Amino acid sequence: MKPTLQVLVDPPYPVYVGAGLLEQLPQLTKARNVAIVSEQQVAALHLAKVRDAFSAMGREVIEIIVPAGEASKSTTEWSNGLRTLAQYAFRRDDCIIALGGGVVGDLAGFIAASYARGIDLIQAPTSVLAMADAAVGGKTGINLPEGKNLVGAFWQPKAVVMDVSTLSTLPPNLFDHGLVEMFKHGLLARPDLLDALLDPNLGPLSSTERLIDVVTASVAVKARVVAQDEHETGEARAMLNLGHTVAHALEAITNHDLTHGEAVAWGLLYAAHLSHLNPKPGSQEGGHVDWRPWVRRLIARIQPSVPPALSWEDVLVYLERDKKNRRDSRRWVLANAPGDPWLASDVPEQMEQTAWAAFREEVDHLPPQGPRHATLGSDEESV
Amino acid sequence: MKPTLQVLVDPPYPVYVGAGLLEQLPQLTKARNVAIVSEQQVAALHLAKVRDAFSAMGREVIEIIVPAGEASKSTTEWSNGLRTLAQYAFRRDDCIIALGGGVVGDLAGFIAASYARGIDLIQAPTSVLAMADAAVGGKTGINLPEGKNLVGAFWQPKAVVMDVSTLSTLPPNLFDHGLVEMFKHGLLARPDLLDALLDPNLGPLSSTERLIDVVTASVAVKARVVAQDEHETGEARAMLNLGHTVAHALEAITNHDLTHGEAVAWGLLYAAHLSHLNPKPGSQEGGHVDWRPWVRRLIARIQPSVPPALSWEDVLVYLERDKKNRRDSRRWVLANAPGDPWLASDVPEQMEQTAWAAFREEVDHLPPQGPRHATLGSDEESV
């Protein structure tokens, strides 16, 4: 197997993007024992081929299968997974394979980060969202009753294997929601990617070549940012939060009735409005581009559920809780144009409110045959 | 505060050894919120002065107090600690202070490593054992029902504060057991330290100058080894296991009726016997020194409980489980002389058995007015 690209942290690790790669996983680890962490729906579709590939080489395979869904990112599933590894006398030189979407990647990643103070991990994402975002970068984590992703570690995988063959079984709406993170990467650094992503023919049954192309382009953006700022201590990685500040608030307010992809799509629309009002200081004539039309095309393409009618004050409560914000300042990721993101620290609240009003106005006037409406959730903190 | 020494990992961190340092802890962190993790007995003695020092500067102090003892290194106490932090809206730029012995340091360290993917940690050890060993080096962890320290992370502290004033309240036997790890550091790299440690007048009420001297000398050895091999991937850190292979077996077999210090003292005696039988290949004439007399003096000094009568086969079962051993080979840390440790990979089992017989013979003929006998525990795995 030839790596598609490398993530240049220390040590670097390869990302493979291709078709039919799951069967080749045994080439990537010499571990005698491997533990496949997956969830029930993905396991039913893909686990057998991974297990058989390892078994055929005489490797021991342990299976840790959790229920599908966010609730599996719990201290209980984490602890159960660790106990299973211990019961099989898993060792420091054994390897964990995360086979699934973002929930599996985050949970399996934190199991790998914490078993015996850290063992090898291979991320094998099976959803567009996980390929575009979570599988690269080393963020792992679980939830507490007090909030999402409050517990975890930075733990870089040894390799990431993106088998686009797995995408053919995704429901089209999940595929589309995954596109949103790719679209964000396009807005950050690959404006040429945006048209390809908006093509209504791009979907789960597109040719493997097309899928490989868009996944690779998107991952390359993420990989470069991660290499610049592995532990999110600088500003590079903060850029990945384009659209996410409002998205996290919308997810929390609707108690995740809005999916992550849907929430980010709306968050991008708000960020586009705020960017429109707030040019980057010192930007040249013509450098400040209104990119709201791009986001409108994205929303027309994926038809996300519509967020509930919320006042700026409603949203502000959740923004204040966002852990991306250090104390006493709210930072926005804005873009002066597609491909030109920047961090704005001192946005006047009056401007934030004006952008919110414009955003709400636009949401309220969506075509009547448009998307379904999301419901308000219970008061849950998302950070 | 002036650092006594630096641990040269990336980034380096300072170790302060002195008297009356706990009151100066607020100088070491700018965090607005600090969480003091401690256990009941230590908290009763030392928490108020730390809390008051922070409160006097207008900082918020959260207290996370667990019961004394190994049982607190559990997923439950870990998860409870994390939830407390979340309930107080602890942030990435806040700081955890581990105030106590090894249990507190390991638990608090893993809480710091995993909250919000890692926040600042200050280790403030209050026992000889924790000062000599656990507080420097970044090993954090908790136990599973399946075994000790199976879960954790390498998470280096921002600073380590060793206030020898806290040692005056230690029971003399706990003080002595802590000496064993210092003695091990002397055997590894500071043979000049051994006589000072064997002085029967060295104890909880020794002058602060003497305590600072021995603690500093011991920590300097540990710090140098950690800097060479931060994540125990090389051979340097493996040297710290001198005496620990048999010690872990004895702790497990007695279900920790033997304390860690006691078990390591016996483990050192076995390692001395095996080293005596097995000179380092290529060692010069006169380079191979019988260091059993040093360990005998240590045992006479600290009077550890005597391990139960065990055959080599009894012990072998536990050695096989030791996670320090990669598959298919058992490595021993031996010393060709005090100050000259080495890793032996291919020790014939016949030689291991002969050393065990000599060790047993010696244990069986200890003076009749000698130490109490430890009891066999239930079958618990210790790794």
User: Model confidence over B119-176: pLDDT tens digits?
Assistant: 999 999 999 999 999 999 999 999 999 988 999 999 999 999 999 999 999 888 889 9
Residue range A13-29: mean pLDDT, rounded = 97
Instruction: With CB atoms and an 8 Å threshold, state whether B82 touches A150.
Output: yes
B301-319 burial string, b = 16+ CB within 10 Å, else e?
Answer: bbbbbbbbebebeebbebb
Give the separation between CA A137 and CA A154, rounded to whole angstroms. Answer: 8
Q: Three-class SS string for chain B?
A: CCCCEEECCCCCEEEEEECCCHHHHHHHCCCCEEEEEEEHHHHHHHHHHHHHHHHCCCCEEEEEEECCCHHHCCHHHHHHHHHHHHHCCCCCCCEEEEEECHHHHHHHHHHHHHECCCCEEEEEECCHHHHHHHCCCCEEEEEECCEEEEEEEECCCCEEEEEHHHHHHCCHHHHHHHHHHHHHHHHHHCCHHHHHHHCCCCCCCCCHHHHHHHHHHHHHHHHHHHHHCCCCCCCCHHHHHCCHHHHHHHHHHCCCCCCHHHHHHHHHHHHHHHHHHCCCCCCCCCCCCCCHHHHHHHHHHHCCCECCCCCHHHHHHHHCCCCCCCCCCCCEEEECCCCCEEEECCCCHHHHHHHHHHHHHHHHCCCCCCCCECCCCCCCCCC
A109-128 pLDDT, tens digit each: 999 999 999 999 999 999 99
Please name the residue of chain A whose CA is at the shortest distance from the CA of residue B320: A89
pLDDT over 50 (residue B382): no
Instruction: Tell whether A82 is within 8 A of chain B (Cβ).
Output: yes
Q: Which domains does chain B have, with CATH numbers?
A: 5-222 (3.40.50.1970), 242-364 (1.20.1090.10)
Instruction: Tell whether B207 is within 8 A of chain A (Cβ).
Output: no
pLDDT over 70 (residue B231): yes
A 121-140 near B (Cβ less than 8 A) = 139-140
pLDDT over 50 (residue A379): no
Instruction: Tell whether A244 is within 8 A of chain B (Cβ).
Output: no
Name the residue with higher pLDDT: A163 or A374: A163
Q: Angle A172-189/A208-228 helices, nearest 10 degrees? A: 50
Amino acid at B32: R
Mutation choice for B interface testing from A75, A80, A114, A237 by most B CBs within 10 A: A114
Other C-beta atoms lying within 10 Å of the C-beta of residue A215: 23
Instruction: Tell whether A57 is within 8 A of chain B (Cβ).
Output: no
Instruction: With CB atoms and an 8 Å threshold, state whether B86 touches A147.
Output: yes
Chain A residues with CB-CB distance to B231 below 8 A: 117-118
Q: What pLDDT is attached to residue A282?
A: 86
Least confident of A161-165, A228-232, A286-290, A364-368: A364-368
- Contact partners, residue B11, CB within 8 Å, separation at least 6: none
pLDDT over 50 (residue A108): yes
- Give the pLDDT band of residue B370 (cuts 50, 70, 90): low
A25-48 pLDDT, tens digit each: 999 999 999 999 999 999 999 999
Give the separation between CA B25 and CA A98, rounded to whole angstroms. Answer: 42
**DSSP 8-state code for residue A373:** B
DSSP letter for each residue of A72-117: GSSHHHHHHHHHHHHHTT--TT-EEEEEESHHHHHHHHHHHHHBTT
pLDDT over 70 (residue B329): no
- Give the pLDDT band of residue A380 (cuts 50, 70, 90): very low
Chain A residues with CB-CB distance to B326 below 8 A: 91-93
B241-255 pLDDT, tens digit each: 999 999 999 998 998
Least confident of A283-287, A335-339, B26-30: A283-287
* Proportion of chain B above pLDDT 70, given as a percent: 95
- Give the pLDDT band of residue A369 (cuts 50, 70, 90): low
Residue A66: which H helix or E strand, with range?
A: strand A60-66
Cβ-based contacts under 8 A for chains A and B? 91
Instruction: With CB atoms and an 8 Å threshold, state whether A146 touches B118.
Output: no
Q: How far is A48 from chain B (nearest CA, A)?
A: 27
Amino acid at A78: W
In chain A, where does DSSP find H-type helix? 40-55, 75-87, 102-114, 128-129, 172-189, 192-198, 208-228, 244-253, 260-277, 292-302, 312-319, 349-364
B273-314 pLDDT, tens digit each: 999 999 999 887 778 999 999 999 999 999 999 999 999 999
Backbone angles phi, psi at B144, to 5 degrees: -115, 165
- Judge whether A137 and A16 are in contact, CB under 8 Å: no
Q: What pLDDT is attached to residue B383?
A: 34
Of the partner residues B32, B79, B118, the one whose CB lies closest to the CB of residue A327: B32
Mutation choice for B interface testing from A84, A96, A107, A151 by most B CBs within 10 A: A151
Q: What pLDDT is attached to residue B369?
A: 59
Please name the residue of chain B whose CA is at the shortest distance from the CA of residue A111: B151
Q: What pLDDT is attached to residue B374?
A: 78
- Give the pLDDT band of residue A371 (cuts 50, 70, 90): low
Instruction: Tell whether A326 is within 8 A of chain B (Cβ).
Output: yes
- Contact partners, residue B349, CB within 8 Å, separation at least 6: none
Residue (of A261, A167, A236, A264) closest to A206 by Cα position: A167
Instruction: Tell whether A154 is within 8 A of chain B (Cβ).
Output: yes
Mean pLDDT of chain B: 93
Residue range B330-354: mean pLDDT, rounded = 94
Q: What predicted TM-score, i.e. pTM, was given to this entire model?
A: 0.92
- Give the pLDDT band of residue B371 (cuts 50, 70, 90): low
Instruction: With CB atoms and an 8 Å threshold, state whether B153 touches A87.
Output: no
Least confident of A334-348, A350-364, B196-210, B306-320: B306-320
pLDDT over 80 (residue B38): yes
Please name the residue of chain B whose CA is at the shortest distance from the CA of residue A146: B86
Mean pLDDT of chain A: 93
Of the partner residues B75, B146, B153, the one whose CB lies closest to the CB of residue A118: B153
A311-334 pLDDT, tens digit each: 999 999 888 765 444 555 689 999
Instruction: With CB atoms and an 8 Å threshold, state whether A86 touches B116.
Output: no
Mutation choice for A interface testing from B151, B155, B158 by most A CBs within 10 A: B151
- Give the pLDDT band of residue A377 (cuts 50, 70, 90): low
Instruction: With CB atoms and an 8 Å threshold, state whether B323 touches A145.
Output: no
Amino acid at B351: M
Residue range A226-238: mean pLDDT, rounded = 93
Find tokens 């919308």 and name the residue. Answer: A250
3-state secondary structure (DSSP) of residue A342: strand
Backbone angles phi, psi at A309, to 5 degrees: -70, 115
Instruction: Tell whether B76 is within 8 A of chain A (Cβ).
Output: no
pLDDT over 50 (residue A192): yes
**DSSP 8-state code for residue A306:** B
For chain A, state the CA radius of gyration. Answer: 21
Q: What pLDDT is attached to residue A322?
A: 59
pLDDT over 50 (residue A13): yes
